[in-house]
Amino acid sequence: MAFKKRTIIKISLTVLTFLVLLLVFGYYNLCAKYDLLVDQSNIESKLLQNQFDEILKKYDSLNLVIEKNEVAEVEKVVVAAQENKAHFLSTTWDINHENKSLEYKINLLKSKINEDSNEIIKINTILTQNKKELAELVSHKKNEYVGRHENLNAINLNARGVKILSDLYSKNREGKIQQIRVCFTLEGNEFVRNGNKQLYVQVVNPKNQIISVKDTHLETNNLKLTYSAKTEAMYTKKDLDVCTYVDLEADKTIKGKYIINVYNSFCKIGSTIFEYE
């Protein structure tokens, strides 16, 4: 889940960065177009200035034209001057209108870039928080993994009843069992330290009574563990087979299902069911 979340954030950041670059490119493109229009306006202004210079020259020659009774020519010059003036005013208005439109678009793009920049800042803040949360989750998961695997684990746990024959010549096979043989394997684990391990077997009969011939128990602070048998094993981080016998109490030995628990100190490391028929 953390990996998926980090991937979604990276994709979102990439898309937003691409949009910002696109907006910046559009902004500079509009600026270039604006500069081009300004240059064109300057060129047209120079052309109009030249036309006005021509008009002034023609006006200088009006006296000669009037003297020669060329009134029609004067009227043509005046009409041409008026047309040139109207064209100049129209061109100037169009340029100013287009410049205002470009300026509006530029301001709009600037505003959009500022908004996107603020959004990117927010996303970076969220990304930083998510990275911190992810690091905490990873650290917690690692600690949980180590904590879960630093304890012993009893696997292949099995139990069977044992009858002790006191007379070699009288084999009463219908009598009650006197012991339960419990075997299991301590699973190899690199997180568990080597050394001698104290193992406790607890047998609970069908009436939920703990079988303990000598009422043996393990106690520390407010914890108490009553067990049926105790054994030791030298552990070396590798699979280790262990077997032990549990003496039964006659008055607590009845037919039914028995719960067999295996403890290392107060930590239960395995459990199974033994059915006595």
- Vertex 101 angle, CA 96 and 106, to 5°: 120
Q: Which letter does DSSP use for residue 67 in this model?
A: H
Per-residue pLDDT of 25-76, as tens digits, reads 777 777 777 777 777 777 877 777 777 677 777 766 665 655 566 556 657 7
**pLDDT tens figures, 162-198:** 998 765 434 545 578 999 999 999 999 999 999 999 9
pLDDT at 276 over 90: yes
Residue 135: Cβ within 10 Å count? 11
Contact 271, 157 (CB under 8 A): yes
pLDDT tens for each residue of 247-269: 999 999 999 999 999 999 999 99
**Distances from the Cα of 270 to the Cαs of 45, 138, 204, 267, in angstroms?**
98, 29, 14, 9
In three-state secondary structure terms, 187 is coil
Does pLDDT of 141 surpass 60?
Answer: no
DSSP symbols for 210-238: EE-TT--EEEETTEEEE-SEEEEEEE-SS
Check residue 124 and give its pLDDT: 79
Per DSSP, the residues of 93-118 read HHHHHHHHHHHHHHHHHHHHHHHHHH
Contact 245, 180 (CB under 8 A): yes
Which helix (H) or strand (E) segment is 87 a member of? helix 71-149
Q: Are 229 and 212 in contact (CB under 8 A)?
A: no
Return the axis-axis angle of helices 2-60 and 71-149, rounded to nearest 10°: 170
Mean pLDDT confidence for 129-142: 66
Percentage helix, strand, coil, to 5, in the chain?
55, 25, 20
Q: Per this entry, what is the length of the chain?
A: 277
